[in-house]
Amino acid sequence: MSKKRVLLFILLAFLGLQIIGCGHRNATGEGENASDKHENSIDVIYSFAKFVNEKNYPEALSLLTLQLRGGFSMGNNAPLRNIEHMEITRVKDMSNRWSPGRSAMGAAEVRIYYVEIDYKIKGIIFSYLKDGPYYHKVVVLKETPDSPWLIDEMSTAPKQP
């Protein structure tokens, strides 16, 4: 996968999660480890969006699997820093219709969501994202039965009715 595609994927994933985190009633509170609070699989998505909007990049990154986190950590969190605001406008459980991909194999639990996110991007010339809505496939998983929910994938998805 080219460097541009990896960066775009990471930025889109991060943006989608940030929007989901905004305004969700179960989002993680201040001063607590974000990855420890998610009893419901969708909470981690809303918390990610919340932390991105707050520019709290270390907490946002803590909600990603190590594989996904590596892409967002490049360039001093550049993909996340390009996002001025992300708002989750729609979430739909697609776990019975979409497959999670190889990276989720062996996980204790996996959920797959269709997430619509409206992004506001800073005026950076080389940003891969533009202002407006994006449609994502977001895979969240528990690596073991006792581990927290983490975001494992955030990719582009076709718009759903």
pLDDT at res. 29: 34
Picking from 73, 47, 71, 70, the residue whose alpha carbon sits closest to that of residue 60 is 47
Domain with 138, as residue range(s), is 3-156
95-117 confidence digits (pLDDT tens): 999 988 888 888 999 999 999 99
Q: What is the DSSP letter of 159?
A: P
Residue 161 lies inside a defined structural domain of this protein: no
Residue 45 lies inside a defined structural domain of this protein: yes
* Burial tier of 144 (Cβ tally within 10 Å: 0-12, 13-18, 19+): exposed
Q: CB under 8 Å to 141, separation ≥6 — which residues?
A: 65, 100, 104, 107, 108, 109, 110, 111, 149, 150, 152
Residues of the chain with pLDDT under 70: 1-39, 73-78, 124-128
Residue bearing tokens 């990603």 = 64
pLDDT at res. 114: 96
72-102 confidence digits (pLDDT tens): 765 555 678 888 999 999 999 999 999 888 8
Q: How many domains does the chain have?
A: 1
Residue 47 lies inside a defined structural domain of this protein: yes
Domain of 96, CATH number, reads 3.10.450
pLDDT at res. 23: 35
Residue 104 lies inside a defined structural domain of this protein: yes
Residue 113 lies inside a defined structural domain of this protein: yes
Full-model pTM: 0.73
